[in-house]
Structures are given as C-alpha cells and as structure tokens.
Chains A and B, each alone.
Chain A
Amino acid sequence: MRVVIDVPVRINVGPIHPSTHGVLRLVVDVEGDKIENMEAHIGFLHRGVEKLLENRMYMQACPYMEKLDYFAPMSYDELYVAAVEQAYGVEIKEKAMYVRTILLELQRIASHLASIGFLCNDIGQLFTAFMWSFKDRDMVLKLLEAATGTRMFYVNMRIGGLVRDLPPGFEDSTIELLDYLSKRIPMYEKYLEKNPVFMERNKGIGIISRDDAKNLGITGPVLRGSGVSYDIRKNKPYYVYEKLNFRTQVRNEGDNFARYKVRMLELRESIRIVREALKKMPSEGSAVGMPIRLIGPPVKNKITITERELPRGECMIYLVADPQRPYRAYIRSANFINLSAIEEMCKGQRFADLFSIIGGLDMVIADVDR
C-alpha cells in the first residue's frame, strides 16, 4: 500500500528523464506546483577527461576534448589545440586563422540552432521546431563535413593550422547556406514569438539578475541575457575577430526569453562574421598545420591559460605543459558554471518551468561532468 506523502513533495527528476539533456539529476521539493527548493546532482557522466589528458600525448587528446560538448565539438578541439600551440609557442598561419574563425562560427550556428529546438521540446512543443531546426543544423553539419571529412567529431585541428585546406567550392556553398539561414531565422522568430503560449512559457521565467549572474561566474548567452556585455571574442579577441565587424548581443531582462533571444541574435551575428571572414580571407597560402608530433613542447612546467568563447559560454584550459604530455590540464567548462545558477533561477517557479529553464540554459551534461 502507498505511503502518505508529506508536503513539500520531494521529486527526483532524472537521471533518467526525457528532458534533462543527458544524465542530470535534480532533486526538487515542490509544494503543489511551486518549487520550494532544488538541488542539482551531477557526475553521472564523469569520464575523467582531465586525467585522461595527463596520460595521452598532446595530439592524442583531441578526440576526448571533442566529446565534451557534442553540440560544438570543433570549438572544444580548437580550444585545446590553441592551448597546446601556446605551449609550443607556434605562430599560426594567417589563412588558418581565417579558416578556423569561419569553421568555429559555423559550429556556433549549428549549436545555437540545436538549442532552439531543445528549448521548444522542453516546453512541450512535440518535436516540430526541433525537427525543423535540426534539419537546418544538419545542413551546416554537411558543410562542415565537406570541410573536414566527418559529420560530427571532426578532429580537424593541428598545431599551427588545420588538417586540410578548405575544399574548392566551399565559399560558394557556404554563402548559399548563409543566404538560406538568414531567411530561416526570421521564420523561426515569427513562428515562436507570435505564439502567445511560447511567450508565456518563457517571458519572466527563470530570472537571474545582472549581479547574481556576475557573481556566479556565468558566461555566454546566459550572461548576455542578463544584461552584461561580455564576450571573449570582443573583450579578449583572438584570431581575426578584431578585424571583423560584429556586435555583442545583449538583452537586459535576464529571463528565459532573453537567453533565447540572445541566441537568435547571435545566429545573425555569426552569419555576418562568416560572410565577412570569407571576403577578407587571403586567397593564396595554405591553412595546413604541422603533422602530428609525438614529442611535446621543449618546456618544463610552462603554464598557459587559453580562453575561448564557445557557443555555451567562456571555456578555459589551464595547461601545465611538459615535454611528452601535459602535467595538468584543467578545463573550465561554461556549462558547469552556468548550471550553478539553476537553483537561483528555479526558486519559486512552477514545476513545469523547471524544464524551460533547463532548455534556456542549453545544458550539455557531458560538458558539466567532464
């Protein structure tokens, strides 16, 4: 026979649940439909990537890094390779910088498109927007496949450049795709923002104030949705971002809708960046980097810190380089730190809003657990 349930009711959401974006466990105390208290439990997908990096030669670690964030694998790969390049002290070819910028922005487009689909799925819009946005994402992935050879996990970076040059005809097909996407993005906005229920489910939900967001160390679209104009691409520019003309998109509301809207605006900015980078890219020269080396940088305990603006926020690698293999590699994952805001966001919200908040944070649990 059943037990009498106390108030508030404690519910385990996850680790197996349709909309926790992986294996996140949330212990939620609800009173009626209101969330009284919430606690996030992580670690179900912990693979010890940081330790694995210490036991691999430098370029052997790239595939591990890619699997951290499976919606933006190339961004993580690039982050790691950039850290190793810093340890080596290698200059990157100019053409390679442009190619990397283009590929990274395409990756950002793919990731943001996926996040829109997930948000809609989480608030109960049974797979329609999800399938549409994934179709568009797939077109971006096809382009990346043409450039790198694989569809999802590219392992396309080498020290000083890339594995291969861009294929012939890449520019034309990219511009064609960007034209298509710039027509699709307003369509999504029209479809979602003219839907009163979508607005109701996102406006004023999961508010995090500017100060709280700063204090918690949140980054990425979540921070920019709270009114802080902070973007590594702008504030500590790398590659050719200085030479390109784009804006940091900021919304002041700090709610779920602001985060969604920032992603929508960033899609447009990314399209702009890719267009401009394609125009400014030097036509001659090669982007191919060094072949894979077995021997690491000839340094002892050289500490490098590399920061990059990934689709989900600022990620950083703290690398203590040794010859042969890294002595220590610490990964600051944006998702992990963004997740710390979820308790603040959920307090006092309805149970159903918990899932729109998770969707708005755009979690990838593999990245949280590392």
Chain B
Amino acid sequence: MLIGSSYSLISTFNSWLSSGNILLNIAALIAYGIFISIILSVYDYLFGWAERKIIAKVQLRHGPTYVGKFGILQNLADVIKLLAKEHIVPDTADKFLYAIGLPAMMAISVLLVLVLPFSPYLQATNLTLGLLFVLVLLSFMPLFMFVSAYSTGNKFADISAQRSVLMMLSYELPMLIVFASVALLSKGFNISGIISAQSTTWFVWLMPIGFIVFFVTMLAELERPPFDFLEADSELIAGWLTDYSAPYYALSLFLDYTRMLFGSLIMAILFFGGWSGPFLPPIIWLLIKAVIISLFIIIIRTTLVRMRIDRMLKFGWVWMLPLSLVNLIITYMVFIH
C-alpha cells in the first residue's frame, strides 16, 4: 500500500512538473525539496548514530545507550546541546569568510545530492551534462574548505588549509579520469543515461580498476580515514574545524554525513547500476546500495591508520593517476574501439 501510494505521489509530482503551469511547477519543486530534506535528515541522523554504534562494537564498547532506546536520541541531544552553547567567533577570524565558509559547503553538498536522480521519475532535473556539473560542484568543495579554514586565523587550521590544497592536487585528477571513463562507457554525461547503460552489466564489473581508484579518491574527497588529514584529531586537534564552535560545529557534523550520502549515492549510481534492481521500487534499491557503501566506509574507519600527507601526494600521482589512465585506456580499447 505504501509503495502504491508513493507511486501515485510520484506520478502526481511528475504531472505537476511537466504541466506548463508555473505554480504547479513551483509546488512540485517545493515537494521535491521536502523529500530531499527528509532523506538527508534521516540519513544524516541515522548514520550519525550508526557510526557511533558500529565503531563501538568493533572497539568492544557499547556506544550511546542512555538517551532513548539503544541511544538513538543521543545525537539529537548532542545537537540540542551544541545549539544551546555560546557561539564564539575568534578575534583573529575574518568575520565574513568565517560566516559563509561552512554554510557554503553545506549548500554545495546539498546541491550535489539534489542533482542526483533517485528514480527514473524522481529527480529535480535531468541535465544533459549532469556528471560534469557534479564534478564542477565537487571541485568547489576544497576551495570553500580552504576559505573556512583560512578565515579562522588558527595555525592548526592553516596547516589544514595547506593540506586541503595538497589533497586536491593528489586525488582530483584520478577522480576526473575515472569520471571520464564512465562517461566514455555510457556514451554521455547524463546521469540517467549512465544508469540505463548499466541495465545489463554494472560498471563495477566492466572496470574494476576504475572502481578501486574511484573508491579511494572518494574516501579522500569525503575526508574519511585513512585520508582524514584535514581533521586529523591526534595531530591538528580538529584541523580546519578547530575554531568552529557550537552551531557551526553541529553544521559541520551534518556536512560530514551529507557528503557521505553523496559519496555513497554517486558510487552506487556510477558503478552499481543506480536504481536498477528487481521487485523493489527504484528509490529503495538506490538507497539500499548507498547504505551498504556507507557502512563499508564506516568500517574502514575502524581499522586503518591515518596516512601521512606527503605520502598521499605520492600515492595519488604514482599509483592512482596511472591506474586511472590504465582504466581509461582499457575501457577505450575493449569496450569502445
């Protein structure tokens, strides 16, 4: 029944969007915005909790237990606490940049999720060059990270800012080349087109090297361990977030999980056939795939030691870049030529 009603909702949404009436168009977009916010907040909240619980299990601890059943309300309590705290802006900060840095990053990451299609009918837009748009937005990320780190005037944040540039140099190019090989394979930059190109075989089977490169670069993009140089808590205290207090810190937590949602979604879309799958509705398939990838990303955090930033650059240029090129060439030779 639920599935049926959601289908009817989606078809209503579609008819609104395709009708020429501008009011209906706006209503449809607002409805989609609400839908995305629900997905984002549920995912962010649940993964904030799940990460704590899973890591606690690996580390022979219990994790949150007191607030709510299985500590499910712990993150809510934390956010309320953070919002109630005093918001301290350091004297050394550039007030304007300090104010816009994190919100801009949050906006970009929400936009990134917004661009991705959730099902054949459930998408905000169907850009012809969707993948390219994603790439453009992604390359804004380190820029704003640099801005927000640099604006605090903290030396630890400064080191973090320098590291973010170094990181960008090391992972951006391999990632771009993998994007290119995906586009080559699906003969276009349209994201829906990429998913329909995988209706017979997932791209992960066609270019496993590309997937490995993409996964590693995505971990770096998301700043997840072992590439968490920017927030390296045992070295830089909290890196670029050192001087962000109260509400901004809460925002940074949401940002973390929003970016993780985007990372898992794009991996599911580019390599695991996106929404395609039997029986269940497409959006459920996409979310199942994204959740499995997210869990994998979380488990990696519990086991790996942080790399060193200078090794990261070497790793990016000596291993990732050649591997991504090899992947591109193989893709061209085998599947296109």
Which of A's residues lie within 8 Å of B, judged by CB? 1-3, 5, 9, 11-12, 17-19, 30, 32-33, 120-128, 130-132, 135, 195, 197-198, 200-201, 350-355
Contacts and interface: CB of A to CB of B under 8 A. Distances in A.
A19 B233 CA distance: 8
B231 to A, nearest CB: 10
A18 B60 contact: no
A200 B307 CA distance: 8
B224 to A, nearest CB: 11
Nearest to B307: A197
Contacts of B311: 200
A302 to B, nearest CB: 47
B237 to A, nearest CB: 6
B158 A5 contact: yes
A71 to B, nearest CB: 18
Interface string B45-85: 00000000001001111000000000000000000000000
Contact of B306 (A5, A17, A125, A128): A125
B281 to A, nearest CB: 37
Contacts of B92: 2-3
A126 B61 CA distance: 13
A128 B303 contact: yes
Interface of B: 55, 58-61, 92-94, 150, 153, 155-156, 158-159, 162, 225-226, 228-229, 232-235, 237, 301-311
A286 B175 CA distance: 71
B59 A124 contact: no
Contact of B308 (A30, A195, A352): A352
Nearest to A122: B234
A124 B155 contact: no
B153 A2 contact: yes
Contacts, number: 96
5 contacts: A3-B92, A32-B162, A120-B305, A197-B226, A350-B308
A125 B308 contact: no
Nearest to A130: B59
Contacts of A353: 308
A262 to B, nearest CB: 20
Nearest to B166: A33
Nearest to A1: B94
Contacts of A355: 234-235
A1 B98 CA distance: 11
B162 to A, nearest CB: 7
A352 B302 contact: no
Nearest to A20: B234
A125 B60 contact: no
A32 B156 CA distance: 12
B277 to A, nearest CB: 34
Given A197-B304, A200-B308, A351-B159, 9 more contacts: A11-B155, A11-B159, A19-B234, A128-B58, A128-B59, A201-B305, A201-B307, A352-B306, A352-B308
